[in-house]
Amino acid sequence: MTRAARGPDFGFVLAWVKRYWLAVWFAVISAMRLSVLITGEAGFDARLYLKATRAWLDGVDPWVFIDTQRFAAPPPTLIPLAPIAILPEQLGIAVMIVLATVGAVATVRILHLPWWWILFPPFLDAAWNGNPQNLLVPLILLGAGPLAVFLKIYAVVPVTLTLRWRALLVTAVLLAVTAPILPWASYIAQFGDLSDALATQSDGGLSATAIPWLIPVALIALLFVGRERAAWLAVPALWPTTQWYYSTLAVPALTPLAAAVIAFPAPGAAVLAAVIVAVQRRNVSVQRLVDDWRPDAPVLPSTAPGVPPTASRESRA
């Protein structure tokens, strides 16, 4: 008696797709981005940041250019980069790339995400360019919020909305102490030109500010996602002249579908991701909505479907 031939195991295929569809999506977009990046030299952002920092250390205006790209970050960014800027240029760039890569891996590990989240395209974009953006989430979650704010001033948004009061106090003190040695006067005097440079270099950005009618949509979505999630989504959704790598800041608040959307570098993608997170919480009552914004509201639940856990409240600083 011969055994009947078995057909393809569609159950296995469906289970595999259900488990890894987001990983495949990340990999496809990352491969497309990498195909563009490899035509240039790695570490462009690192080179620009370190050139600006060296100029400041030499007593020169730090708002420097490399080709048509201009350094336009607020002055506090210069301080944490100073120890790297004194290294030989190529070594400093390599250190920045390594730190950006470590930051991406640390984010995945701290949030207990599947290993393939390292393929999240904004992680790749920041790591290739040696941008310190990838360090923000792990620094904030591990209690080094002031360093995160100095690296990227908009990190103050998640630090504030996650109620890390000690970190805010330390940041305020450090900003006051370092103000005399930083080129704030030059920055303020050139603020208009620097803002225009950021807008040009980011093609208007990817947040709601690039499509003004999306601003109220973003605000409503952030209201409905709750304070803990809004803390991480606010900058990608609303900060002016956002670039693709800003989306790494949203990772602690993303659901799989929201992650798939925000992984694509399209204007308004972060707003749509926030809307998706809000819709997936559509059964939230008005009372729960109010409770979510209270100072004693619980942190993101590690058991929520598709929502990576954050650090416990006890670990905050």
pLDDT digits (tens, 9 = 90+) for 110-148: 999 999 999 999 999 999 999 999 999 999 999 999 999
The candidate with the shortest Cα–Cα distance to 41, out of 130, 103, 156, is 130
Cα–Cα distance measured from residue 128 to residue 93, given in angstroms and rounded to the nearest whole number: 11
Cα–Cα distance measured from residue 303 to residue 71, given in angstroms and rounded to the nearest whole number: 42
Strands 69-70 and 65-66: antiparallel
pLDDT band at residue 292 under the 50/70/90 scheme: confident
3-class SS of residue 144: coil
The candidate with the shortest Cα–Cα distance to 34, out of 155, 150, 119, 159, is 119
DSSP string over 150-214: HH-GGGHHHHHHTT-HHHHHHHHHHHHHHGGGS-HHHHHHTHHHHHHHHHHHTTT-SSGGGSTTH
User: Is 91 a residue whose pLDDT tops 50?
Assistant: yes
Cα–Cα distance measured from residue 113 to residue 136, given in angstroms and rounded to the nearest whole number: 17
> How many other C-beta atoms lie within 10 A of the C-beta of residue 16?
12
pLDDT band at residue 173 under the 50/70/90 scheme: very high
**pLDDT given for residue 81 in this prediction:** 98
Mean pLDDT of 277-298: 76
- The pairs formed by 188-194 with CB atoms below 8 angstroms and a separation of 24 or more are 190/63, 194/63, 194/70, 194/72
The candidate with the shortest Cα–Cα distance to 308, out of 26, 124, 108, 18, is 108
Share the mean pLDDT of the chain.
Answer: 90
**pLDDT given for residue 19 in this prediction:** 78
307 vs 243, higher pLDDT: 243
Cα–Cα distance measured from residue 8 to residue 306, given in angstroms and rounded to the nearest whole number: 29
Cα–Cα distance measured from residue 232 to residue 311, given in angstroms and rounded to the nearest whole number: 13
Convert the pLDDT of each residue in 230-253 to its tens digit. Answer: 999 999 999 999 999 999 999 999
| pTM of the model as a whole | 0.89
Angle (nearest 5°) at CA 102 between 300 and 104? 40
Quote the percentage of the chain above a pLDDT of 70. Answer: 87
Summary count for the chain: helices (H), strands (E):
16, 2
